[in-house]
Amino acid sequence: MSAGRSALRMGPAELVQAAAMARRFYLEGKSKIQIAEEFGVSRFKVARVLETALERDLVRIEIRVPAELDAERSDALRARYGLRHAVVVESPSEGADESPDPENLGEVAADLLGELVTEGDVLGLAWGRSTIHMAAALDRLPPCTVVQLTGVYDAGTAERGSVEAVRRAAQVSGGEAHPIYAPMLLPDPATAAALRHQTGIARAFDYFDKVTVACVSIGSWEPGISTVHDMLSDEERAHYASLGVAAEMSAHLFDADGRRVGRDLGERCITVEADRLRRIPEVVAIAGGQRKAAAIGAVLRSGLVTSLVTDTAAADYLLTGSRPAPHPALERSDPDH
């Protein structure tokens, strides 16, 4: 604009030129240098015109994501906890306080896995309602091997639980499935050790070090929210509660600061070891709801999780009432490179 012309007004020639330059830049993808050559002006002039076009509302830039995704919370959560990916979905309008892990988390997680998994990957699935919902929602996966990372909550329901989730993911991807037909929790370490050496279970365990993308659930230490909590006796629950358990993930227990406690429980469980989880390049946790919010924060502080799919109810707590965590994604190699 000329110096003598009102800053609030563009003349017709300026409007036409600005509109043409904006069309070249935003719609046709031409560079500022190419536009400058076409119009016979400097690239600095082009930059000023484009800036003026935005200021005068001649050009409007909109960033749109599906209504159920909260892009602002997602980005804030990713930055605060140093995650590789954070996806926040809208909590159900009713019952958000009472319903941890809404089913739409699994649907969004299924789409995320479709982005993250590449051909030849080994995908690991741990027991959890949210991972079961995720597997049921899968409609695309590149060819990959799928391995079960934990035993099942109830061996009698294996066909409808994590075993079926592994089979479903393998079916979608066209890859091999390595399920584990065994309970997650055993009566004693000796029984668990014996089961780990059984052929089918040992074959699944052999894949643990090859897992490139893992999908896990998180539970808070209360009835109905942690399957491990529900499998223990009252005496055992009281014992682990006395150690300050705040969260559970794949039969590993964590206090509010993300430190592992009650490690003896792992000796009785069929599950991937925490150290192996820490070496997996991408560990995606699926968990939401206010009742799980503190537990999610505890697990994030453990540094075992690199990405998170959650809802707005949990995200609001994690962004305000929860201490930040280490940056696990920065400590592991990016699986895309």
Q: Which CATH fold would you assign to the domain 69-320?
A: Rossmann fold (3.40.50)
| Domain boundaries of the chain, sorted by first residue | 12-56, 69-320
pTM given for the model:
0.76
Q: What are phi and psi of 100, to 5 degrees?
A: -70, 150
**CATH 1.10.12 corresponds to the domain 12-56:** no
Residues in the chain: 337
DSSP state of 284: E
What span, in angstroms and rounded, lies between the C-alpha atoms of 231 and 185? Answer: 7
And the tokens for 120? 């030849």
What span, in angstroms and rounded, lies between the C-alpha atoms of 313 and 100? Answer: 10
- The sign one gets for the Cα dihedral 322, 324, 325, 330 is positive
Per-residue pLDDT of the chain (337 residues; tens, 9 = 90+): 333 333 456 666 778 888 889 989 988 889 999 999 988 899 999 999 999 888 888 887 766 555 578 888 999 999 999 899 999 998 876 544 455 667 788 889 999 999 999 999 999 999 888 888 899 999 999 999 999 999 987 644 444 577 899 999 999 999 999 999 888 899 999 999 999 999 989 999 999 999 999 999 999 888 877 878 888 888 988 898 899 999 999 999 999 999 999 999 989 999 999 999 999 999 999 999 888 999 999 999 999 999 999 999 999 999 986 666 666 655 655 555 4
SS3 assignment, position 124: strand
Q: What are phi and psi of 200, to 5 degrees?
A: -65, -40
